[in-house]
Every structure is written in C-alpha cells, then in structure tokens.
C-alpha cells in the first residue's frame, strides 16, 4: 500500500470515527450466496455482526419471473438474526433481498441469489 493510500485511509477513518463498523454486516446465511438447494420449502437465516432492529427489517423473495414476495419474519430469531421461511418453491433461480436497520440508525441491505434444483 502506497503512503498516499495509507494516509487517505487513516484520514477517512479519523473523519468518520470508524462509522463503517456501525453498519450491520452479514456474517453468514442460509442459503449461502449462489447455493443450489432442493425442495419446495426453505428455512432462511441471515446472521449479522451486530444487533438489528427486526421490526424495521424485511426479507423479500424475487422469483423466477421477477415478482417479489415479502416473507414474514420469524419473531423467535435472536437479536442479530433475520429468519423466515419460503414455501412453494419451484425449480429455478431466486434472489433474497434483505434490508435491516442497525441500532445506530444505519440501513444495510443486500441480495442473496440461489437456485432451486430437484
């Protein structure tokens, strides 16, 4: 790393106070990105590096034809996890879109593509 890049990184961290660490970051998920799963039902779990506000979070499932379905969240999930269940899955490609709110007020979101195969 060049001296200029190192100085820029230090200056950025000093100005933001390390704020990037405040966002909820996915540690692991089921399904994993680009996973191939089987069956008509899928238990979904997304674990984050911090507590999240599940009441202001959601998971949407985008199906083979692009239509989105909001999945009800399982309220028994721990404070750092979103859980849901997808049903009626047919073979094909899908995308989970998640969005969550960290306790510090930062919104994080992302996608987890996967495929259902029989």
Confidence label for 85 from pLDDT (cuts 50, 70 and 90): very high
pLDDT exceeds 70 at position 96 = yes
CA distances from 53 to 1, 62, 80 (A): 37, 23, 9
CA distances from 113 to 17, 29, 30, 32, 47 (A): 33, 11, 11, 8, 16
Per-residue pLDDT tens digits for 23-53: 899 999 999 999 999 999 999 999 999 999 9
Handedness of CA 71, 74, 75, 80 (dihedral sign): negative
3-class SS string, 64-115: CCCCEEEECECCCCCCCEEEEEECCCCCEEEEEEEEEECCCCCEEEEEEEEE
This prediction has a pTM of: 0.79
């Amino acid at each position: 790393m060049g001296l200029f890049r190192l100085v820029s990184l230090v200056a950025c961290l000093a100005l933001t106070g390390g704020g990037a660490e405040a966002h909820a970051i996915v540690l692991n998920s089921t399904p994993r990105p680009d996973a191939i799963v089987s069956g008509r039902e899928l238990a979904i779990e997304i674990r984050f590096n911090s507590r999240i506000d599940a009441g202001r979070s959601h998971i949407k499932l985008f199906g083979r034809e692009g239509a989105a379905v909001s999945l009800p969240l399982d309220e028994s999930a721990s404070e750092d996890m979103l859980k849901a269940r997808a049903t009626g899955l047919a073979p094909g490609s899908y995308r989970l879109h998640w969005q969550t709110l960290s306790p510090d007020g930062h919104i994080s979101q992302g996608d987890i593509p996967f495929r259902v195969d029989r």
